[in-house]
Amino acid sequence: MTDRRPAAVIILAAGEGKRMHSSTPKVLHAVAGRSLIGHVLEAASAVDPVHVVVVVGHGRDRVLAHVEEIAPWADTVVQEEQRGTGHAVRIAMSALVSEHALPSGPVIVLSGDTPLLTGDTVEALVEAHHSSGAAATLLSAVLADPSGYGRVVRDAHGSVAAIVEHRDADEATRLIDEINAGMYVFDSEDLLPALERIGTNNDQGEEYLTDVIGILRAQSQPVAALLVPDSHEILGVNDRVQLAEAAALMRDRINDRWMRAGVSMLDPSSTWIDVDVDLEADVTLLPQTSLLGPTSVGSMARVGPGTTLTSCEVGEGAVVIHTWANLAVIGPRASVGPFSYLRPGARIGEEAKVGAFVEMKNAELGDGAKVPHLSYVGDAEIGAGANIGAATIFVNYDGQEKHRAVVGRHARVGSDTMIVAPVTIGDGAYTAAGSVVTEDVPPGAMAVGRARQRNIPGWVERKRPGTASAQAAAEHESAPTETTQESKETP
């Protein structure tokens, strides 16, 4: 690419997207963890334009807020009435002229609903525009079925002679399989006066940006076209079917990149990775795994099957099986799962273990510590080497406030223990199985927090007469014991 910097990128994002049948504006629907408009903004940033202008309309408040959040450097302009693509670009150019004077240099126009567009293609489009010396350069693609798209008609020299809409094309023109992608580069000096000449003499009564191409050609201005190598890049999203298709194509693109970088996937078709995920070489991802948000996974780690990690950090050599985790940190060589639930604030230390049916929230498990199974650990700090017995519950909520519990290094918490926070169990201390711990346990002590067992004879017969339990108890009491039989046989 040359050093000539684009004056502006205009992104058209005002459409209602009726076919989405959604209360969410179309461009805010997500693919691979990023909104449709977010993908296009990312592609636009590759050419480092002086200005970026997003034209918004339907759902403007939500779209404006989203653009401000993800791209505060972009300007926005409202298209009060959606009167066509030419009208939208004219509004954007008027705003640029009003605020910054007429920008000098190329102006790029992109569609806000094309999430598969890459920065490399935008760069190539600008480079093709510079190389050709054309007044306008459009992006085109070859489709196996071009029905419904405007055809790119080239002259004998390969320049664009016209764009003919499908409904206006004759039989010969409809045989052309090169279509207009609806994305362009214009010289700003040529674009603005051409926009003023666009009419509305068409079926929709709208101002079409494609008419600019006809106006430039009528002025003998050259128009070029860049054929995109991968036609998937120009696919727009207009309904839920196309959204799913775009997501699948993006999944395949992302997975292909990671596998070529040294990540193993047993079933790429069931492995979903967001664009902000970071993986190191020699990671293994098993089937039905989703890595969402800014998740990172260290080398030699194994994740899956049946695992969803959102904004998590997984250390080198860790193993995570059948787990759902959100905003959690899993240390090197730790083991998590199966069927574990790590909620925000869970931190698993090096070589620590979180086993089957364990839930953790806002809790730290020290290096080498274990919570093997069937436990809830909330608002807690568990020291290195400690062991938490099965069915242990950290009782962290008193009905009004959350409280924190501390378990010391190499402590042993017996099965079915209730740890009622705030409380501290000291280093090396034990608790007896079935205890309810409400007071601090000194280091090295054994805590026994349970009532003495008391058996009430005959309770079932009196309180549950006629039940199967009462009958079984009665049969047991009436059955002769082995000792009784022997005594009867003794002379």
What are the residue numbers of the active site? 373
For 278, phi then psi, to 5°, come to -125, 125
Surface-to-core class of residue 177, CB atoms within 10 Å of its CB (0-12 exposed, 13-18 middle, 19+ buried): middle
Phi then psi for residue 221, to 5 deg, are: -85, 135
* Type of residue found at 306: G
- The rounded distance, in Å, linking the Cα atoms of 26 and 31 is 12
Whole-angstrom Cα distance, residue 283 to residue 160? Answer: 48
Angular region, 139: left φ>0, alpha ψ -120 to 50, beta rest: beta
Counted residue by residue, the chain has a size of 491
Measured distance CA(232)–CA(121) in Å, rounded: 12
DSSP category for residue 398? -
Question: Which residue pairs from 162-166 have beta carbons closer than 8 angstroms and sit at least 24 positions apart in sequence?
Answer: 162/213, 162/214, 162/217, 163/138, 163/210, 163/213, 163/214, 165/210
Which among 428, 472, 475, 469 is positioned nearest to 447, based on CA atoms? 428
Which of helix, strand or coil describes residue 340? Answer: strand
Amino acid letter for position 308? T
Identity of the amino acid at 72 = P
Hey, what are 1's tokens?
Answer: 């690419």
Q: Which residues have CB under 8 Å from 477's CB, separation 6+?
A: none
Give just the sign of the alpha carbon dihedral 30, 31, 36, 39: positive
